[in-house]
Every structure is written in C-alpha cells, then in structure tokens.
Amino acid sequence: MSLYAHIREDIDSVLERDPAARSRLEVFLCYPGLWAVWIHRVSHGLWRAKLQLPARLLSQVGRFFTGVDIHPGALVGRRLFIDHATGVVIGETAIVGSDVTVYQGVTLGGTGKGHGKRHPTVCDGVFIGNNANVLGNITVGENSRVGAGSVVLSDVPPNSTVVGVPAHIVYRNGQRVLITDPHDVKDPLSDALIALSARVEELETRLCVEGELATHTAEPFAAEEAEREAYRLKLERMREYVSMGEGI
C-alpha cells in the first residue's frame, strides 16, 4: 500500500469513529493523535534499521508536538485511532493490533525492570477508555473494551468488557457476567468481604438454631400458662357460689 493510501485509510478510520470529525481536511490538520501514529511509523522504520538514537529523537519530537509517547520499538497495526491524544504512553515491547481505539491518558506499560516482552498485546478492534492502564505482558482479546480509569493486570478474553481497579469482567460475548464469588473481583478488599460474608452466614445459622431452641423451650411454659388460665376461669365461675362463706 502506498503512503498516500495509508494516510487516506487513517483519515477515513477517524471519520468513521469520531462523530466530531467533519471533513478529511479537519482530521488532517487538527488531530495530533493521527500525527503521532504517522511519526511513529517513521521512527519505527529507523528503529528497525538499527538507528536507535535517531528513532528515539524523532519519537521525542513527536511527543513534544502531540502529547503522545510511543516508543519506536512498539508494533502498531493499521488504523490506530488515538482520540484527544494527550498523555498516551505506549511502551517498547507493546503490540497494538488494527482498528484499535485509544483515548487520552491511556498507558500500555510494564510492571517492572525485567527484559524481554514486558508490555501488553492489544488485539484487533479493542477499545480502551481514557486514563486506563494496561500493564505487563498480558493480552487484551479481540473486540474487547476496557473501561475508563481501569487498571488491567491480567489477560482479557475476546469480546469482553472489563472495569475496575484491578479490572474484572462485567460483560462477555454480550452477556452480563454476575459476580457471585468475591474472589472473582480480585480487589485488595476481597479477603475482608469474604470474611464478612462468612461471619454473616455463621450468625444467621446461630440465630436459626437459637430461635428453634427458644421455641422448643417455650412450649412447656406455654402449657403451664394455659393450665393457669383455665384454673382462673374455673374460679371465676365459682365466685357466685363461693362468696363471703355462702354456699359452703
């Protein structure tokens, strides 16, 4: 594909995905996220040609003008759309597929100082909301969505929606995923929730047992009270015959 065809394809993808875009000229002149992708393609070519320093210098120039920091070593597919651009960071070993949409403040980063593949793989058709962090050598499956502000630390299956800190699945294949086990949330407070749930269950069991015991214990007293009431009624009936010594 020629350079002109690549540019036209990128512009058309922005027009398809951004309702605020009104014309190709506007997209060409006013979308720094698009400029960042084009600059990265040049810097990535320099990186592959073993010209690491010029590649890094060019990426820093792109960062200055666009607010997007894409390492020259990152692999970026076709039709990447970075909306609003500012604050996006894509690490050296990150792999981004085709037709991916990334909003401002997104980080595709690492979790340590290790070497090798240490950044995420984002498959085709993924949507990543603003200020989301996808960290480590993990994979976000095709056509998945990452909610704004989420922190993704483990693999995301295809056709899923994840939210939260750390992120957990809420939709998969168009179906709502109901969380019944607190372990599935993977939240630092999960252990506290599990302990609280166990305590509530224990108290409910004790309440049921003690309630049944109280019912069984109260039955003999109820019978005695019934006998006393019957005796009182009997005395009331006899009052007209036993009054001031009369009738004796």
- Give the pLDDT of residue 241: 55
Q: Which of 154, 178, 202 is the last residue of a domain?
A: 178
If asked whether residues 206 and 243 sit together in one domain, one would say yes
Q: What is the pLDDT of residue 188?
A: 64
Give the domain extent around 219: 181-248
- Encoding tokens for residue 59? 């990426």
pLDDT of residue 187: 63
- Which pLDDT score is estimated for 212? 67
Same domain, 139 and 192: no
Residue 247 is predicted with a pLDDT of 46
Domain co-membership, 105 together with 213: no
H/E/C letters for each residue in 175-208?
EECCCCCHHHHCCCCHHHHHHHHHHHHHHHHHHH
The verdict on 114 and 40 lying in the same domain is yes
121 and 48 in a single domain? The answer is yes
Domain count, the chain: 2
Q: Coil, strand or helix: which one is 236?
A: helix
The sheet carrying 145-146 orders its strands as 81-82, 101-102, 127-128, 145-146, 160-163, 168-172, 175-176
Per-residue confidence (pLDDT) for residue 229, from 0 to 100: 79
Q: What is the mean pLDDT of each run of 10 residues along the chain (248 residues)?
A: 83 91 91 93 94 94 93 93 92 93 93 85 94 94 93 92 88 80 64 78 81 61 73 71 51
Q: Position 17: which residue type?
A: R
The reported pLDDT for the residue numbered 197 is 77
Please tell me whether residues 63 and 167 are part of one structural domain.
yes
Please report the pLDDT score of residue 239 as a whole number: 63
Cβ contacts of residue 109 below 8 Å, gap of 6+?
89, 91, 119, 133, 134, 135
pTM: 0.73
Nearest to residue 200, comparing CAs of 224, 182, 212, 174?
182
**ω into 182 cis (within 30 of 0):** no
Q: What is the CATH number of the domain that holds 87?
A: 2.160.10.10
Per-residue confidence (pLDDT) for residue 216, from 0 to 100: 59
Q: Say what the pLDDT of residue 186 is.
A: 63
User: Does residue 192 share a domain with residue 164?
Assistant: no
